[in-house]
Structure 1
Amino acid sequence: MLMNLFKFKGGVKPPTNKTQSTGRPIAAAPLPSHLAVPLHQSIGGTPRPVVAVGDKVLKGQLIGEADGWISAAVHAPTSGTVVAVGPGKQPHPSGLDADCVFIEPDGRDEWIARQPFDLVNATPDAVRHYLQQSGVVGLGGAVFPTHGKLTPAKTVPMQELVINGAECEPFITCDDLLMRERAIDIVRGIGVFRDLLQPQKVLIGIEDNKPEAAAAMRAAVEACGEDFVVVQVPTLYPAGGAKQLIRVLTGKEVPAAKRSTDLGVQCFNVATAYTAWRAIAHGEPVVSRIVTLTGNVRQPGNYEVLIGTPMDELLQLAQPNPDTDGIVMGGPMMGFLVPEPAVPVIKATNCLIAHSERLFPPKAPEMPCIRCGACAQACPHELQPFELYWHARAKDFGKTQQYHIFDCIECGCCSFVCPSRIPLVQYFRFAKSEIWAREKEKKAADEAKTRFEFKQFREEREKAEKAEKLAKAAAAQAAKKAAEAAAAAAAGDAPAVAVAEKPADLTVDPAEAAKKAAIAAAMARAKAQREAAQPKNTDALTPEQARDMAEIEARRVQAGIADAPAEAAAAPTATKTEE
């Protein structure tokens, strides 16, 4: 079937270097000496470990439970004993540690009890849940949990399901060999995706430098009685990007900040469809994947490798040359040198390239940008890399966001064509990381501010509530006294009459009453303290001191007696003044 194909802007044609690793069929890698299985191997939440040190596990047994909807479970790649659960080195440019489950294989490679999933009687939600529990994620590089992409949009009907078999990155051939040898399982997995999404048509895109894979997929589609369309697309990097392949096959351009499902399109990798079918038809969770071993080696090829296998052990199967000085995970355009040779293979590991200066000569020194615009012409997302470079270098991260830095997929086309040999992608990664870090700090500061403001609000509220309680208590006390006075007046008690003569006292301000009560209580406490005070230095006096003390006491008493008439004489005057 002939189709009208479309073009995406930009792109480059680097040397493919693929034929070196396609001469032999896929081989099974032997059991490694140990396994370090990272718990976080996909976008989303980090799975929670469900095993402990000393536990015996079987191949395919759950060791990490999915944390939330956008997360995928993790399973034991072989049978053995859990020897540790904790941080371990990861295949990531940062070189940071992450939680792993360390397993010592017992050599038996014994599976759990496996049984097929009842696809016929299962609901779509049950199928999605099963794929999540089986650890199925995107194996094209993004490792997004597959079940999360299998929910059709409610507002836009699904028009095209695109299956990505382009594999445009140089050196990588794992998908090519997978399509050649296991096309039937891939097509059946695509059928599961088709049944869940209900698209109008299914398009399988394969670059035209893989004729054997395209022929195998066409034969498998016919054998399975499906109406999927296998389309060979021009070899142009990065045609294997999801947005680029969608553009080539459908003519639809996915805008920034939108998903392909907003346009009625969804895209999956061929290896993802394969693992989904293995999980459904055979009850096998994702515990291995196909990995290309190539580069500075004598025996390049493709191997089915257990997740968690140390990369340095795995690379020995390809017989690296003595001058190998590192391992690149991924391809030369988007890959990176792993921080340590012994880091584990993960679900995102599609290729290991033995690095050497002969294969990848050191780049010439960086020169000033001449603003030639070659990077802008090569960018498949129609960005302005030279503008992004200037602002990233100046640490003007606000400007980089204005130039849509987060639309950059870091494909490396700009760096590949730059005549000044500027590592543009490195600048863009730096800018993105700084923006993320600052946004994280701002979020933490905003949360701290919110907590402080709430603390102030709580303290003010508690102070107001306390004052209100005191006022109510004072008012209640005043009302009680008024009631007692009224009762005494009714009984003919003299003090009650005096109170009755002053009815204004019954309407006492609660706050003022509380204040007066507090003052009276303080005065009473002070008086009690004065009365309780006793001299502490009169226990052992000499006769002379005792005589002096007696004379002082006599004078004090005499003075007190002398003051009494004065107080009595002043009393009428004071009473008159009060009146």
Structure 2
Amino acid sequence: MQATKIYSFHGGIHPEENKAQSLRLPLGRPSLPSELILPLGQHIGQSSRPLVKVGDKVLKGETIAINNGFLSSFLHASTSGTISAIEERLIAHPSGLSDLCIILAPDGQDTWTTLEPLNDWQTLSKTDVLAYLSEMGIVGMGGAGFPTQVKLQGAHKKPLSHFIINAAECEPYITADDMLMREKALELILGIEILQHLVEADKVVIGIEDNKPAAIDALTSMIKQRDSKVQVAVVPTKYPSGGEKQLIQLLTGKEVPSGQHPADIGILCHNVGTCVAVYDAITFGKPLISRFTTLTGDALKAPQNVEVLLGTPVSHLLEYADSEPKKLSRLIMGGPMMGFTLNSAAVPIVKTSNCILAASKKELPPPAPEQACIRCGMCEQACPASLLPQQLLWFSKSQEFEKAEHHNLFDCIECGACSYVCPSSIPLVQYYRHSKSSIREAREATVKSDLAKQRFEARKARQDAEAAEKEAKRLARQKATPSKAAEKKKAAPAKAAPTVAAAPAATDESKKLKVDLAIGKSKLKKLQKQLLEAQENEHLEEISNLQLQVTEQEKAVALLEEQLAKTAEAAPTAAEAKVPKPAPAPVNDDIKKAKIDLAIAKAAVKKVEKALKKAEEIQAPEIEAIRQQLKEAQQRADELENALVNPATTIPKTETTAQAAPSSVDADMTKKRKIDLAIAKAGVKKAEKNIQLLKEQGKNESEIEASEWPKKLIEAQEKLAVLEAEDTTDTVAKSQAKAEPEMDLANQIKKEKIAVALAKAQINKLNKRLESAPEDADKINQDIAATEQRLQRAEALLATLIHSQTNTQENR
């Protein structure tokens, strides 16, 4: 078997190992404690959701909590007994805070539940095997506790060149993995082979430091016995060679790019403890309920490694290892470099607890007082991630978080090498942790603010729609009143002269319309001011919403002006005879109206010119129809301009004024549909913006899919497509009923052709994704079905539009 070439990485240190103390005694197995404390958050991601209640009796290995989302895990009873409480308890966390825990009182019987091993794992689909591992509650046991099934799913982004088993265990004092490899070498190799079946990597390598000769011999002999293809690569002892990115660089010579994951460059890493847990689950059906943990430190008389049940209090383990309270100065979970101090020994062992360090004051003295940085550069030389710790320190102190992030703050693995070599005793890692936390909080606040803004805009749009609806109803009632008066006038005898009382009624109606017009103009001015402010501040989503409102308000003002003009013309003739004839109305209103008509006509000319230009670029078949429409629109604009120059000439009525005003119900429905369209478009933009924000935060595709935004984006797009289709259908119906210009129909046809092309492209993209990610087949098939429905609707609508266009041209 060809030996693996060993490379190197930048920086690193050589602290005292202190590993021999815990390897003098054989593996220990502590007795059952009086109670087991099982936190619901023993992994990165969402906490588990309890399945049991107080008073329930459970068996060993029985599921007591299930996963609560994509990035979550199952939890099982470590022994048989009774659920005595579900309450807040102190947990093993740097914050020293409490969290919700399930309290299990053992019955001493240690009775197993019925175990169901996965004997046919080689013939089952990989998705089924991953689902089984999820139900077994297996997480990464060497780091942050990343759910194993999620990590394996991410490994299928691209073919794997290397599957690396992390056995380096570079942290001082910790020997749990060393003891595990000595005791369970066969189980480790078999677990690796199971995982290799799932990931199908080209090369499988166990990376182990050269300070573990017994474990190296055990693995090498077991690999020879089984004639396995797994390789053992012995790397030099240097901290932090056990870091995932550093071990990858040691064994492959490749560096994981900033902001990416090992799977992005075709590499997957797992801890030896995770591999053994996978073997136990697949072969025996045992969930993850125990782990190897190192008990060490000068305050313990019998330091050793133990196989301990999850949920066992640290105080019970200290008693088992014969601790000396008088010598105990600091109690640390993890190693001295990356571990954290425990404020209480009542916290439990969890799935990621690899070491309990009971140190004396002489062993771990209090840190020296922080002094000023002398710019020696030793921190930069020691940093294994090739960062600039000194620069990051200044940015962190001055709270210039953007600059710190620009200098790759989130590439820091918090190994503590920089703090270890700092002659000024500056706790550099603590500053970096604080800066990371502040940046994450700011991002979460931004997302919450965006969501609140979206809710506010939706509420405002809803209120505006309600106000517009009330205004439309009021105008409808106003319009109905003159029509009734006209009917009464027709019903009266032909010779009967109209009464003088009609004049005051018309005057009252005119006054009311003038008041409404003044209110409408005031509201229009206010909206225009808001739109100007939004444009200055570049609030894109608010701009589109305000533009819609301004357009609707302009139409309402124009309608009021038209009604006011009609009311003035409809004054009773009898009133003119008996009442002194008023002075003729000023021509200003007619001129103003003519200017508005001319502006509308010129805008129509520009619109048709633009459409003609686009049609000529793509050689569209309807070019001649568009040219004819341009000619008519230009002629109409010339007539209006001539009439405006020569007031004596009768101003031609515009197509808009010649047509009957739409009913109040149609206007109401049109406004509501436009508002719904604006809200749907805002929802699509918001979802796309939040997905982009998650990508900027360094989230991978699986984490982004686990969030709510991809689903919301699809829902918003579907809603938008439906609304646009309804709007297009309504436009076509009105076009047939009112003989609207053919250009609108041509634009709708072009729009639907684009929609059909986009839907087909989306289906092709989803099919390719289905081939590359078969484990997500259910979700992708649902997306394909939804997209095909949109495609069918778009094609049907396109056929209708083309048919309408053909009929219109034949009629002409």
- Structure 2 CA distance, aligned partners of 1:458 and 1:6? 63
Query: Structure 1: which amino acid aligns with 2:234?
Result: Q
| Alignment-derived partner of residue 312 in structure 1 | 315
CA contact (8 A) 1:84 1:102 kept: yes
| Alignment-derived partner of residue 36 in structure 1 | 37
- Indicate the SS of the match to 1:28: coil
After superposition, residues 332-347 of structure 1 pair within 5 angstroms as 332-347=336-351
Larger RCO (CA under 8 A, 6+ residues apart): 1
Query: Structure 2: which amino acid aligns with 1:300?
Result: P
Cα deviation, residue 395, structure 1:
2.2
**Which residue of the other structure, out of 300, 310, 317, is the alignment partner of 2:303?**
300
Query: Structure 2: which amino acid aligns with 1:224?
Result: R
**Which residue of the other structure, out of 461, 470, 474, is the alignment partner of 2:474?**
470
- Structure 2 CA distance, aligned partners of 1:496 and 1:99? 89
CA contact (8 A) 1:292 1:351 kept: yes
Is residue 402 from structure 1 mapped to residue 406 from structure 2 by the alignment?
Answer: yes
CA contact (8 A) 1:307 1:344 kept: yes
CA contact (8 A) 1:330 1:352 kept: yes
| Alignment-derived partner of residue 69 in structure 1 | 70
Change (3 A) 1:479 1:88: farther
| Alignment-derived partner of residue 108 in structure 1 | 109
| Alignment-derived partner of residue 82 in structure 1 | 83
Cα deviation, residue 247, structure 1:
0.6
| Alignment-derived partner of residue 158 in structure 1 | 160
Q: CA-to-partner distance for each residue in 1:379-401, whole Å, 9 max, x for gaps? A: 00000111111221222222221
Cα deviation, residue 428, structure 1:
1.1
Change (3 A) 1:510 1:31: farther
Change (3 A) 1:154 1:475: farther
Q: CA-to-partner distance for each residue in 1:220-248, whole Å, 9 max, x for gaps? A: 22333321101111111000011111111
| Alignment-derived partner of residue 391 in structure 2 | 387
CA contact (8 A) 2:157 2:263 kept: no
| Alignment-derived partner of residue 208 in structure 1 | 210
After superposition, residues 37-436 of structure 1 pair within 5 angstroms as 37-117=38-118, 118-151=120-153, 153=155, 156-296=158-298, 297-321=300-324, 322-436=326-440
| Alignment-derived partner of residue 531 in structure 1 | none
Cα deviation, residue 290, structure 1:
0.7
CA contact (8 A) 1:138 1:272 kept: yes
Cα deviation, residue 110, structure 1:
1.2
Cα deviation, residue 2, structure 1:
2.5
- Structure 1 CA distance, aligned partners of 2:125 and 2:137? 19
Larger Rg: 1
Query: Structure 2: which amino acid aligns with 1:46?
Result: S
TM (normalized to structure 1)? Answer: 0.84
Q: CA-to-partner distance for each residue in 1:332-385, whole Å, 9 max, x for gaps? A: 000011122101111110000002212111222222111010000000000011
Change (3 A) 1:239 1:212: same
Change (3 A) 1:54 1:495: farther
Query: Structure 1: which amino acid aligns with 2:470?
Result: K
- Indicate the SS of the match to 1:213: helix
CA contact (8 A) 2:330 2:361 kept: no
Change (3 A) 1:211 1:496: farther
Change (3 A) 1:577 1:441: same
| Alignment-derived partner of residue 556 in structure 2 | none
Cα deviation, residue 155, structure 1:
5.4
Cα deviation, residue 69, structure 1:
2.1
- Structure 2 CA distance, aligned partners of 1:70 and 1:511? 63
- Indicate the SS of the match to 1:303: strand
| Alignment-derived partner of residue 21 in structure 2 | 20
Query: Structure 1: which amino acid aligns with 2:174?
Result: I
| Alignment-derived partner of residue 564 in structure 1 | none
CA contact (8 A) 2:155 2:268 kept: no
Change (3 A) 1:494 1:98: farther
CA contact (8 A) 1:151 1:196 kept: no
Cα deviation, residue 142, structure 1:
2.0
Change (3 A) 1:401 1:511: farther
Query: Structure 1: which amino acid aligns with 2:418?
Result: C
CA contact (8 A) 1:72 1:135 kept: yes
Query: Structure 1: which amino acid aligns with 2:445?
Result: E
- Indicate the SS of the match to 1:431: helix
Query: Structure 2: which amino acid aligns with 1:351?
Result: C
Query: Structure 2: which amino acid aligns with 1:51?
Result: V
Q: CA-to-partner distance for each residue in 1:150-195, whole Å, 9 max, x for gaps? A: 1265553111100000100000000000000101111111111101
- Indicate the SS of the match to 2:273: helix
Moved more, 446-455 or 66-75: 446-455
CA contact (8 A) 2:78 2:289 kept: yes
Cα deviation, residue 55, structure 1:
1.0
- Structure 1 CA distance, aligned partners of 2:498 and 2:343? 96
* Unpaired stretches in structure 2, ≥5 consecutive residues: 518-574, 582-812
- Structure 2 CA distance, aligned partners of 1:336 and 1:70? 24
- Structure 2 CA distance, aligned partners of 1:120 and 1:269? 22
- Structure 1 CA distance, aligned partners of 2:377 and 2:263? 33
Moved more, 112-121 or 373-382: 112-121
* Unpaired stretches in structure 1, ≥5 consecutive residues: 517-572
Q: CA-to-partner distance for each residue in 1:77-125, whole Å, 9 max, x for gaps? A: 1111112113221111111221111111111111110121131332100
CA contact (8 A) 1:56 1:79 kept: yes
- Indicate the SS of the match to 2:195: helix
- Structure 1 CA distance, aligned partners of 2:175 and 2:510? 89
Identical residues among aligned pairs (%): 44
**Where is the strand percentage greater, Structure 1 or Structure 2?**
1
- Structure 2 CA distance, aligned partners of 1:167 and 1:220? 20
Cα deviation, residue 330, structure 1:
0.3
Q: CA-to-partner distance for each residue in 1:479-502, whole Å, 9 max, x for gaps? A: 45544554x35xx58879779x99
- Indicate the SS of the match to 2:89: strand
After superposition, residues 429-468 of structure 1 pair within 5 angstroms as 429-468=433-472
Query: Structure 1: which amino acid aligns with 2:414?
Result: E
Change (3 A) 1:577 1:112: same
- Structure 2 CA distance, aligned partners of 1:407 and 1:495? 95
CA contact (8 A) 2:332 2:358 kept: yes
| Alignment-derived partner of residue 536 in structure 1 | none
Cα deviation, residue 574, structure 1:
13
- Structure 2 CA distance, aligned partners of 1:32 and 1:345? 12
CA contact (8 A) 1:485 1:496 kept: no
Cα deviation, residue 283, structure 1:
0.7
- Structure 1 CA distance, aligned partners of 2:486 and 2:97? 76
**Where is the helix percentage greater, Structure 1 or Structure 2?**
2
- Indicate the SS of the match to 2:82: strand
Query: Structure 2: which amino acid aligns with 1:223?
Result: Q
Change (3 A) 1:386 1:513: closer
CA contact (8 A) 2:91 2:97 kept: yes
- Structure 1 CA distance, aligned partners of 2:331 and 2:113? 33
TM (normalized to structure 2)? Answer: 0.61
Change (3 A) 1:165 1:86: same
Change (3 A) 1:510 1:129: farther
Number of residue pairs matched? 516
